[in-house]
Amino acid sequence: MANNASRSTYLNLVKATHPDLHPNDPQAEEKFKKLQETKDNYYKTIISISLAESISGCERYYIDPESKQNLVLNIPKGIKHNQIIIFKNAVTGTISVKILIELPNHYCFSGSELVLTIPISYISLYFGGIHHFVGPDNKRLKIIIPKKAKSGTIYKLPNNGLWNSTTNERDPLYIRLIGKII
């Protein structure tokens, strides 16, 4: 990728994250700091991505410490937490990058499976019903809770978890309902 294109992309990212340009975004300062760290810290072997980015794939920008060349690293969909990817570069050979997936609240990994814990009232567990929530790729999902469901029960939502590059489809998302007193 040409340096002008990388610079243009970087400037667009600065505009998209600068706290002065987004005073109503409480996370703008943190995003801008991360962008600056990426630019200032030339050698990054660890890259953090969001859960949604791990499902759909994404790009990360990298400045090669030897050549000072701006590179775009294409992170494929289906990347796993702590997975190491080798990127080939014509200038410096290869770059080894460890991927960390940042999980939103109530999400965790159980082995390689993605689990979402949903706090729900004991009344809803007892009478059952439909519960709506936002899935790992920021899409609205629903789960049908049977009558007299027990706290701690795990349900499986097919094709709503992480992308599986072996099967070329999404793994199930596991939902753990935890009763709470309202």
Q: Which architecture, in CATH terms, is 107-180? A: Sandwich (2.60)
Beta bridge partners of 89: 93
Each domain of the chain, given as residue ranges in start order, spans 3-102, 107-180
Enumerate helices (H) and strands (E) in the chain, giving the number of each: 4, 13
d(CA 70, CA 63): 5
- In this prediction, residues 11-17 reach a mean pLDDT of 77
Residue 113: is its pLDDT beyond 60? yes
The confidence score (pLDDT) of residue 42 equals 34
114-161 pLDDT per residue, tens: 999 999 999 999 999 999 999 998 899 999 999 999 999 999 999 999
The confidence score (pLDDT) of residue 120 equals 93
Residue whose C-alpha is closest to residue 77's, from 100, 60, 52: 52
Question: Are the folds of 3-102 and 107-180 the same?
Answer: yes
Report H helices in 89-142: 122-127
Q: In this structure, which topology does domain 3-102 adopt according to CATH?
A: HSP40/DNAj peptide-binding domain (2.60.260)
More confident residue, 37 or 18: 18
- The first and second tokens of residue 21, run together, are 């340009």
